[in-house]
Amino acid sequence: MPFLPPPPASAHPHYGVLTATTQAFLTAHGVLRTPSDVDRFRRHDLAMWTVFCYPDCPLESQQLIADFIALAAEWDHLLSQPEGRGRATELISPLKDITENRAPSGNSRFLRAWADVWRRWCEGMPAPWCARTAEHWSAIFAALIDEDLTETAQAPLTIGEKCRLRDETGLQSVLFDLIERGGGFTLPSRIRDLAPIQSMLFHANRQIWVTNEVQSLPKELADGESNLVLLLEAAGKTRSAALAEVHRMVRSHTDTFLAAEAATPRALDELAVPVEERVDVYRFIAGMRTIMAGTATWCGNSGRYQQYVLDR
């Protein structure tokens, strides 16, 4: 990947604080309840992911980001376990209700934590941004429920269906929203809708989750979850050929992202965007690059994946 990896998490001044405050947040809301929950939280090390992906955000924003991503890891863990399979409607629908401004339809143990995250998520942000990020979250929650129903029924997915689900369940749309939230700016619609920006959003999304399909393969084999590599095998490819195909996909998405980035200045010229308004555009692009590099580096170092060994 042609992006510089981040420096070690331990070098970031907020890393230790984020680990402590997020553990306290999840414990206070009843998400971490047992020593094994705490051990898993520590092993996943989402504070590392936060400082890798949003290194320059103020501490308040990093605390929000670390709380959110650790909470998402906990609901993902539960839904991947036998006792959680088939429960996404029960667990996730109340969170979707909050995001859509409805009274929650249940009492998921994630409910209070999500209400806290969602309040802070929108705090201080303009209404159009809040409406857009709420749409992104609604799509994510709907996809999580669909994914759980599909895996519980052991219904086979096509590669296209897998891609459409992962485009949402990978969370990238809201990770990109957090570039603006953490940076204290928003891109105007006329700029966000430009073809190169839309292309970068799509291909960064795909590059991140397709890369993760390789890095998470041993975990998903152990948990009996769907994985793009396994779907390619089911379509007749060998393991090595499937991995090679996924690596080609990563390269294609990366190359297309870089081509769209190179086309952005001309698109801004054609729209006559003033120089002073371009700073946030380039901050947003840099933020996408940072998340792409940071997520891959975190996956390679987090105990979320490193505890598993690929045995075939």
Backbone angles phi, psi at 225, to 5 degrees: -100, 165
Is residue 93 within 8 A of residue 103, CB to CB? The reply is: no
Q: Which pLDDT value is given to residue 307? A: 66
Average pLDDT over residues 75-102: 94
Residue 3, domain member (yes or no): no
Residue 2, domain member (yes or no): no
Domain assignment of residue 170, given as a range? 9-304
Q: What percent of the chain has pLDDT over 90?
A: 85
pLDDT category, 311, cuts 50, 70, 90?
A: very low
If one counts every other C-beta atom within 10 angstroms of the C-beta of residue 20, the result is 11
The structure's pTM equals: 0.94
Residue 310, domain member (yes or no): no
User: Is the predicted pLDDT of residue 305 greater than 50, yes or no?
Assistant: yes
Q: Which pLDDT value is given to residue 303? A: 86
Where is average pLDDT lowest: 153-157, 158-162, 207-211, 237-241?
Answer: 153-157
- The H-or-E segment that residue 199 falls in is helix 195-215
Rg, the chain, Cα only: 19
Residue 109, domain member (yes or no): yes
Q: Which pLDDT value is given to residue 2? A: 64
Tally of structural domains, the chain = 1
What tens digit of pLDDT does each residue of 102-142 get?
999 877 789 999 999 999 999 999 999 999 999 999 999 99
Rounded CA-CA distance 290/55 in Å is 9
Rounded CA-CA distance 191/194 in Å is 5
Tokens of 268: 């801004």
Average pLDDT over residues 220-246: 92
Burial of 182 (0-12, 13-18, 19+ CB in 10 A): buried
159: which residues sit within 8 A by CB, 6+ positions away? 228, 231, 232, 235
Residue 1, domain member (yes or no): no
Q: Which pLDDT value is given to residue 312? A: 42
User: Is the predicted pLDDT of residue 310 greater than 60, yes or no?
Assistant: no
What tens digit of pLDDT does each residue of 190-218 get?
999 999 999 999 999 999 999 999 998 98
Average confidence score pLDDT of the chain: 94
248: domain CATH number is 1.10.600.10
What tens digit of pLDDT does each residue of 4-58 get?
778 899 999 999 999 999 999 999 999 999 999 999 999 999 999 999 999 999 9
Residue 309, domain member (yes or no): no
Q: Which pLDDT value is given to residue 221? A: 87
Q: Which pLDDT value is given to residue 1? A: 57
Residue 80, domain member (yes or no): yes
Residue 210, domain member (yes or no): yes
Average pLDDT over residues 63-71: 99
